[in-house]
A and B are shown apart, each in its own frame.
Chain A
Amino acid sequence: MSGAMGAINATVPPAAPSGPDARRLVDVVLRARELGIVAALAALVIVTTALEPRFLDSQNIEFILSNTTIFAFLAVGEAMVVISRNVDLSVGSVLGLSAYLSSNLFTQVHGIPVPLVFLVGLAIGLVCGVLNGAVVAIGRVPSLVVTLASLYIIRGVDVWVVGGGQVVANNLPSSFLSIGTSSIGPVPVMALGVGAVVAVASYYMKKFRSGRELYAIGSNPDAAVLAGLRTGRRVFVAFAVSGAIAGLAGVLWAADYGTIDSTAGTNYELQVVAAVVVGGVAIFGGSGTIAGAALGALLLESINTALYVLGVSPFWDSAIAGFLLIVAIALDKGISTRLTGALRKRNLQYGT
Chain B
Amino acid sequence: MPPVAAVAPVLVLEHATKSFGPVRALEDGSIELYPGEVHALVGENGAGKSTLVKILAGVYQLTSGRLLVDGAAVALGNPAAARQAGIAVIYQEPTLFPDLTVAENVFMGRHPLRSGRRVDIRAMREQVARVFEGLGVRLEPARLARGLSVADQQIVEIAKALSLEARVIVMDEPTAALSAYEVDRLFRVVERLRASGAAVLFISHRLEEVFAICQRVTVMRDGRQVLARLLEGLGPDDLVKAMVGRDIVLRGEETRRAGGDVVLSVERLAREGVFADISLQVRAGEIVALAGLVGAGRSEVARAVFGIDRYDAGSVVLHGRPLPKGSPTAAMGAGVGLVPEDRRQLGLVMPFSIEGNVALASLARLRRRGLVRRRAERAFAADWAVRLQMKFGRLSDPVATLSGGNQQKVVLAKWLSRRPALLIVDEPTRGIDVRTKAEVHRLLIELASEGVAVLMISSELPEVMHLADRVLVMREGRMVAEMDRREVSEETIVAAATGQLQRLGA
Taking Cβ atoms with an 8 Å cutoff, the residues of A that contact B are 2, 4-5, 8, 18-19, 22-23, 25-26, 207-209, 212-213, 215-216, 218-220, 222-229, 282, 286-287, 336, 339-344, 346-347, 350-352
Docked complex Cα distance between A352 and B179 (Å): 13
* Shortest distance between the CB of B272 and any CB in chain A (Å): 16
| B111 located at the interface, meaning its Cβ lies under 8 Å from any Cβ of chain A in the complex | yes
* Shortest distance between the CB of A286 and any CB in chain B (Å): 4
A–B pairs, 8, beta carbons within 8 Å: A23-B143, A209-B119, A213-B109, A216-B100, A216-B108, A220-B96, A339-B147, A343-B143
Q: Which of B96, B138, B142 contacts A223 (CB 8 A)?
A: B96
Q: Are B137 and A215 in contact (CB under 8 A)?
A: no
Docked complex Cα distance between A70 and B180 (Å): 57
Q: Are B144 and A208 in contact (CB under 8 A)?
A: no
Q: Are B149 and A219 in contact (CB under 8 A)?
A: no
| B375 located at the interface, meaning its Cβ lies under 8 Å from any Cβ of chain A in the complex | no
Q: Given the complex, which residues of A lie within 8 Å of B111, measured CB to CB? A: 209, 212
Q: Are B97 and A343 in contact (CB under 8 A)?
A: no
Interface residues of B in 86-121 (CB under 8 A from A): 95-101, 104, 108-109, 111, 113, 117-119
Q: Are A223 and B97 in contact (CB under 8 A)?
A: yes
Which residue of the partner chain A has the closest CB to B144? A26
Which one of B108, B113, B142 has the highest number of Cβ atoms from chain A below 10 Å of its Cβ? B108
Q: Given the complex, which residues of A lie within 8 Å of B152, measured CB to CB? A: 347, 352
Interface residues of B in 133-174 (CB under 8 A from A): 137-140, 142-144, 146-149, 152
Docked complex Cα distance between A2 and B144 (Å): 27
Q: Given the complex, which residues of A lie within 8 Å of B324, measured CB to CB? A: none
| B475 located at the interface, meaning its Cβ lies under 8 Å from any Cβ of chain A in the complex | no
| B184 located at the interface, meaning its Cβ lies under 8 Å from any Cβ of chain A in the complex | yes
Q: Given the complex, which residues of B lie within 8 Å of A219, measured CB to CB? A: 97-100
Decide if the interface of chain B is mainly helix, strand, loop or mixed.
Answer: loop
Q: Which of B83, B139, B142, B147 contacts A344 (CB 8 A)?
A: B147
Docked complex Cα distance between A167 and B118 (Å): 44
Q: Are A2 and B184 in contact (CB under 8 A)?
A: yes
Q: Given the complex, which residues of B lie within 8 Å of A282, measured CB to CB? A: 99
Q: Are B138 and A213 in contact (CB under 8 A)?
A: no
Q: Given the complex, which residues of A lie within 8 Å of B140, measured CB to CB? A: 18-19, 22-23, 352
Q: Are A343 and B146 in contact (CB under 8 A)?
A: yes
| B181 located at the interface, meaning its Cβ lies under 8 Å from any Cβ of chain A in the complex | yes
Given pairs A213-B108, A219-B97, 7 additional interface contacts (CB within 8 A)? A2-B181, A207-B118, A209-B113, A220-B95, A228-B109, A339-B147, A350-B138
Q: Given the complex, which residues of A lie within 8 Å of B46, measured CB to CB? A: none
Q: Are B99 and A287 in contact (CB under 8 A)?
A: yes
Per-residue interface assignment for chain B, residues 182 to 220, with 1 indicating a CB less than 8 Å from any chain A CB and 0 otherwise: 001100000000000000000000000000000000000
Q: Are B147 and A215 in contact (CB under 8 A)?
A: no
Q: Are B108 and A286 in contact (CB under 8 A)?
A: no
Interface residues of B in 396-433 (CB under 8 A from A): none
Docked complex Cα distance between A222 and B80 (Å): 13
Which residue of the partner chain B has the closest CB to A18? B140
Per-residue interface assignment for chain B, residues 251 to 275, with 1 indicating a CB less than 8 Å from any chain A CB and 0 otherwise: 0000000000000000000000000
| B79 located at the interface, meaning its Cβ lies under 8 Å from any Cβ of chain A in the complex | yes
Docked complex Cα distance between A22 and B145 (Å): 12
Which residue of the partner chain A has the closest CB to B139? A352
Which one of B117, B118, B147 has the highest number of Cβ atoms from chain A below 10 Å of its Cβ? B147
Q: Are A286 and B98 in contact (CB under 8 A)?
A: yes
4 nearest A-B residue pairs (beta carbon): A343-B147, A4-B181, A286-B99, A228-B80
Q: Given the complex, which residues of A lie within 8 Å of B100, measured CB to CB? A: 212, 215-216, 219, 286
Taking Cβ atoms with an 8 Å cutoff, the residues of B that contact A are 79-80, 83, 95-101, 104, 108-109, 111, 113, 117-119, 137-140, 142-144, 146-149, 152, 180-181, 184-185
Q: Are B143 and A22 in contact (CB under 8 A)?
A: yes
Q: Are B137 and A352 in contact (CB under 8 A)?
A: yes
Known pairs A209-B111, A228-B83, A347-B152; A216 contacts B119 (CB<8 A): no
Docked complex Cα distance between A352 and B149 (Å): 9
Which residue of the partner chain A has the closest CB to B78? A228
Q: Given the complex, which residues of B lie within 8 Å of A212, measured CB to CB? A: 100, 104, 108, 111, 119
Known pairs A2-B181, A340-B147, A344-B149; A26 contacts B109 (CB<8 A): no
Q: Are A227 and B109 in contact (CB under 8 A)?
A: yes
Q: Which of B95, B137, B146 contacts A340 (CB 8 A)?
A: B146
Docked complex Cα distance between A224 and B83 (Å): 14
Q: Given the complex, which residues of A lie within 8 Å of B118, measured CB to CB? A: 207-208
Which one of B80, B99, B181 has the highest number of Cβ atoms from chain A below 10 Å of its Cβ? B99
Known pairs A212-B111, A220-B98, A286-B99; A5 contacts B181 (CB<8 A): yes
Q: Given the complex, which residues of A lie within 8 Å of B96, measured CB to CB? A: 220, 223
Q: Are A4 and B184 in contact (CB under 8 A)?
A: yes
* Shortest distance between the CB of A203 and any CB in chain B (Å): 9
Which residue of the partner chain B has the closest CB to A348? B149
Docked complex Cα distance between A336 and B138 (Å): 23
* Shortest distance between the CB of B58 and any CB in chain A (Å): 10
Q: Which of A26, A216, A339 contacts B97 (CB 8 A)?
A: A216
Q: Are A229 and B146 in contact (CB under 8 A)?
A: no
Q: Given the complex, which residues of B lie within 8 Å of A342, measured CB to CB? A: 147
Q: Given the complex, which residues of B lie within 8 Å of A22, measured CB to CB? A: 140, 142-143
Docked complex Cα distance between A18 and B138 (Å): 9
Which residue of the partner chain B has the closest CB to A287? B99
Docked complex Cα distance between A169 and B180 (Å): 76
* Shortest distance between the CB of B102 and any CB in chain A (Å): 10
Known pairs A286-B97, A352-B152; A26 contacts B142 (CB<8 A): yes
Docked complex Cα distance between A228 and B97 (Å): 13
Q: Are A226 and B95 in contact (CB under 8 A)?
A: yes
Which residue of the partner chain B has the closest CB to A5? B181
Docked complex Cα distance between A260 and B313 (Å): 69
Q: Are A222 and B95 in contact (CB under 8 A)?
A: yes
* Shortest distance between the CB of A108 and any CB in chain B (Å): 42
Q: Given the complex, which residues of B lie within 8 Å of A224, measured CB to CB? A: 97, 108
* Shortest distance between the CB of A280 and any CB in chain B (Å): 12
Q: Are B148 and A343 in contact (CB under 8 A)?
A: yes
Which one of A208, A212, A222 has the highest number of Cβ atoms from chain B below 10 Å of its Cβ? A212
Q: Are B148 and A207 in contact (CB under 8 A)?
A: no
Which residue of the partner chain B has the closest CB to A203? B118
* Shortest distance between the CB of A140 and any CB in chain B (Å): 17
Q: Are B184 and A339 in contact (CB under 8 A)?
A: no
